[in-house]
Structure 1
């Protein structure tokens, strides 16, 4: 009997299971993530044991869902069916807001497109590598604190907004070359209080720059005088890799003779051949790399089955 009592301490209580479920649902709801890996079995068992739909009511409250359940005078499941009917009847939308919840409770809200590729670019949505890099930054704020940061291919802006709000860089340059992405960046930075002086929420000096890797001169790079360069999901096409490596060579060359810039590239390895080609191109250009191994704390909801690798680059002697 003593052993049984002791072993029960390690078994999660129904209350704890419910709390975990509600946190997972809230995080995925605001980020509009698919619920493929949602713990449906645990939820089903809770419903069977409690013989009530209270947990459904709590889930709806977590998501707000624009439902006035308490004042509706009907069962929560009825409200759920009504909400589903509204979704089914709604017209298709091309963009919407996603909110990524941070550990301290606040969130990063971004306007993103629904389609992965739209307006001739992939930069209007947030990709897995950007989420991973943001999590890594939250675990390593000292990499950015008080330093000048340049982000290549900023896209919707998730990584940079997280770094600016949580890591305290002295300045942060968001960059891209696509006009639609640049405008979306400005909109998202304003939403998160990074551009508008009246509502600015951080002391970081923030700017948005149009940056074409093929046209960037060493003189202009020296003017930026950046100390950290980061990029997420920029290694996806062999032709882009060639231009990217040439640009990275310029960055490392400009930092010689002073404290070298810290360059971090985070990639989702969708095509192993393309990614291997990237590493070979780095070597041919005299650029070394080290893999930043080690797990990151899971903060955001995204597909973690994909292979994601973060590398730090340096000029070979």
Structure 2
């Protein structure tokens, strides 16, 4: 009986992963892999029913018809190939998707809604509500057409997991993010109780999308129509690294700086390093409070404590081009910035086990401070 119960729990967990992968709009091949696992090696009628009842039509803001059509087509083909019964409702739903007017809409292909669910690493059965946080995001599909700021990148996922792994590091802190993109990190910072969250980006369309995402997640943003008494203190600001000057940044409180995939172009490196230097200088009057906030359970290498008591930066990055990263490392050293790779020592927990496409091992976590 115990073995059967364990098997049941495992089956429920696999179905949950399948549902969350669908809501996150994981690549269809990844969703199909999870569907096979949930069916014990094939997409059984039980799994097909689950997809219809718990996945199709549950996307935030309405189902993305193109995505749903692709998933259904692959599920039907897989079931037919393995000689499994294909339930009639699956064919019917696929037919509805094929005839839908949204199917041929170019507008529906430009932006898609993703629902990113962070699972508690400690959960052992589905009935205990394993989802600790859900972030609803409008993202771009034009990754190769200059709209990269509205895409969801692995480094952003990793930085979010780092924040959720060490909530005490960010609680009651003023957090400032560079190149915030869709705003996922901001949602996580608000969740762990940061006293202030300032999200920035240098692209106007990305900033507009970011603000919309904050409102969709019921977070307060400046000039929003949400209740002014809201305890969620999130601001979205335009910040061009090339044009930023000390006076622009002086009024921003910041204990911790963050960034995900912001080391990507050699031409941007000098401007990024200059902005980091200005932000890491901090405010001498606030150093004592920053320095005293270190939690003893967090190692010094990971913690927010610095030798000067000033702010600290955590940058998550995928090193796609060694020359670009070396360019950043040299510029940082010349500017008297300490750059330490803390990926191993941080021991970040996995909150996204259902995201097969997310390669955590490709992401490096850097801790950056201003040398005294």
Q: TM-score range by the shorter chain?
A: 0.7 to 0.9
Cα distance in structure 2, aligned partners of 1:87 and 1:309: 41
CA shift, 1:46, in A, is 5.9
Q: Residue 238 of structure 1: SS of its match in structure 2? A: coil
For the pair 1:203 / 2:231, whether they are aligned, the reply is yes
For the pair 1:299 / 2:351, whether they are aligned, the reply is yes
- 1:61 aligned partner: 53
Cα distance in structure 2, aligned partners of 1:225 and 1:117: 35
Q: Structure 1 pair 85/270, CA: closer, same or farther in 2 (3 Å)?
A: farther
8 Å Cα contact 1:290/1:312 also seen in 2: yes
Per-residue deviation, residues 205-225 of structure 1 (Å, max 9, x unmatched): 221111111222223322112
Aligned counterparts, 1:47-86, within 5 A: 53-65=45-57, 77-86=87-96
- 1:315 aligned partner: 370
8 Å Cα contact 1:194/1:200 also seen in 2: no
Q: Residue 245 of structure 1: SS of its match in structure 2? A: helix
Q: Residue 251 of structure 2: SS of its match in structure 1? A: helix
Normalised by the length of structure 2, the TM-score is 0.72
| Structure 1, 203-212 or 301-310: larger mean CA deviation | 301-310
Cα distance in structure 2, aligned partners of 1:187 and 1:260: 32
8 Å Cα contact 1:263/1:314 also seen in 2: yes
Q: Structure 1 pair 131/305, CA: closer, same or farther in 2 (3 Å)?
A: closer
Cα distance in structure 2, aligned partners of 1:20 and 1:114: 29
CA shift, 1:256, in A, is 5.7
Cα distance in structure 2, aligned partners of 1:216 and 1:193: 30
CA shift, 1:62, in A, is 2.4
Cα distance in structure 2, aligned partners of 1:174 and 1:180: 14
For the pair 1:123 / 2:149, whether they are aligned, the reply is yes
Normalised by the length of structure 1, the TM-score is 0.83
Aligned counterparts, 1:1-317, within 5 A: 13-37=6-30, 38-39=33-34, 41-45=36-40, 53-65=45-57, 77-87=87-97, 90-91=103-104, 92=106, 93-103=109-119, 104-118=131-145, 120-164=146-190, 166-195=191-220, 196=224, 198=226, 203-255=231-283, 258=287, 259-292=309-342, 293=344, 294-300=346-352, 301=355, 302-304=357-359, 307-317=362-372
Q: Residue 123 of structure 1: SS of its match in structure 2? A: helix
8 Å Cα contact 1:267/1:310 also seen in 2: yes
Q: Structure 1 pair 55/41, CA: closer, same or farther in 2 (3 Å)?
A: closer
8 Å Cα contact 1:109/1:191 also seen in 2: yes
8 Å Cα contact 2:152/2:182 also seen in 1: yes
- 1:70 aligned partner: none
Cα distance in structure 1, aligned partners of 2:254 and 2:324: 28
8 Å Cα contact 1:110/1:156 also seen in 2: yes
Unaligned runs of 5+ in 2: 64-84, 120-130, 288-308
CA shift, 1:36, in A, is 3.5
Q: Residue 236 of structure 1: SS of its match in structure 2? A: coil
Per-residue deviation, residues 4-30 of structure 1 (Å, max 9, x unmatched): x9xx95x99542342122111111111
8 Å Cα contact 1:121/1:178 also seen in 2: no
Cα distance in structure 2, aligned partners of 1:12 and 1:273: 53
Cα distance in structure 2, aligned partners of 1:138 and 1:178: 27
